[in-house]
Amino acid sequence: MAIMEQRRRYWEDTYLTEVDTEVVAAREDPGPALAVRDGIVHPKGGGQPDDVVRVDGRLATVSKDEAGIVWLAPEDDEARAEVGGSVHVAIDLQVRRQHAALHSAGHLLDACVLPLGFTNIGLSHTPGQAFLLYDVDGGTLPTDEESKAALVEEVLDRARRLVAADLPYSAEVDGEGVRRVTIEGVQTDPCGGTHVRSTADLAGLAITRVRTKKGQLKLSYTAEHA
């Protein structure tokens, strides 16, 4: 199977929503699925959910195996595509934009929290459940509502200024094959997700809840694509 020829097109263009592409592999176990050459579909990982995808108009589920191969399993598997044939793959643009905005906002907020003396130890960019989790690293853990509100305002003030600065997001794969995403002049992180073009593409940025437990800080947040 020529599955290693898959190309992560979603790394190159967040806004590429459909493509006609070659089927490079098919499987039956643990269920019928196919792999395509041009991978515009982001699989669940790094805190970002799966894209919503259709293959030849049929809704499909997404999975990624231990080798990193992305498999698409159309709900109706009666008309199965053959290896070497072509299929039309399309993702839901609104869902992709939402995921990209939340993921990008996570990077941006993290860049505003770290200088305050915290170390990131966990995250999620899932709509309705997005959060950043920190250990204290020289900073001060807020202990009451007043100090929590002050922390939120300081972080959001930094973030708003970066949004207004219209700073580009970019990505490159280093010599070890690790993809690194950069907010220009702000922060670079290893990341395999999808991102907006610029900080100015972010709207509705808000920290919706602050929780402290066992010496850790958890910030729930939300954001939209402008």
CA distance 47 to 61: 18
Q: What is the mean pLDDT of the segment spanning 147-159?
A: 97
Find the domain containing 77 and state its range: 3-91
Residues 108 and 151 in one domain: yes
End of a domain among 60, 91, 122?
91
Same domain, 163 and 53: no
C-beta separation of 132 from 108 below 8 A: no
pLDDT greater at residue 152 or residue 31? 152
Tell me the mean pLDDT in the region 100-118. Answer: 98
Asked if pLDDT for residue 206 goes beyond 60, the answer is yes
State the CATH number of the domain containing residue 85: 2.40.30.130
DSSP 89: E
Buried b (16+ CB within 10 A) or exposed e, 53-64: bbbeebebebee
103: three-class secondary structure by DSSP: helix
Q: What is the pLDDT of residue 2?
A: 45
Within this chain, do residues 28 and 106 fall inside the same structural domain, yes or no?
A: no
End-of-domain residue from the set 91, 116, 149 = 91
pLDDT tier at 226, thresholds 50, 70, 90: very high
d(CA 72, CA 65): 11
Number of domains in the chain: 2
pLDDT digits (tens, 9 = 90+) for 56-85: 999 999 999 988 899 999 987 665 678 899
Containing 152, the helix (H) or strand (E) segment is helix 145-164
Q: Which of 91, 115, 138 is the last residue of a domain?
A: 91
Both 73 and 176 in one domain: the answer is no
Distance CA 199, CA 163 (A): 5
Q: pTM for this one?
A: 0.94
Half-sphere exposure of 171 (CA within 13 A, CB side): 25
Cα–Cα distance, 42 to 39 (Å, whole number): 8
Kind and range of the H or E run holding 147 = helix 145-164
Residue 20 has pLDDT above 50, yes or no: yes
Average pLDDT value for residue range 88-106: 98
Decide if pLDDT at 3 tops 80: no
Q: What pLDDT is attached to residue 79?
A: 54
pLDDT tens-place string over residues 174-191: 999 899 999 999 999 999
Q: What is the mean pLDDT of residues 141-152?
A: 96
Percent of the chain with pLDDT over 90: 88
68: left (phi over 0), alpha (psi -120 to 50) or beta: left
> Residue 165's domain is classified under what CATH number?
3.30.980.10
**Who wins on pLDDT, 75 or 169?**
169
* Chain-centre distance for alpha carbon 59: 21
Beta strands 7-8 and 38-39, pairing class:
parallel
If you average pLDDT over every residue of the chain, what do you get? 94
Q: Provide the pLDDT for residue 1.
A: 44
Question: How high is the pLDDT of residue 4?
Answer: 55
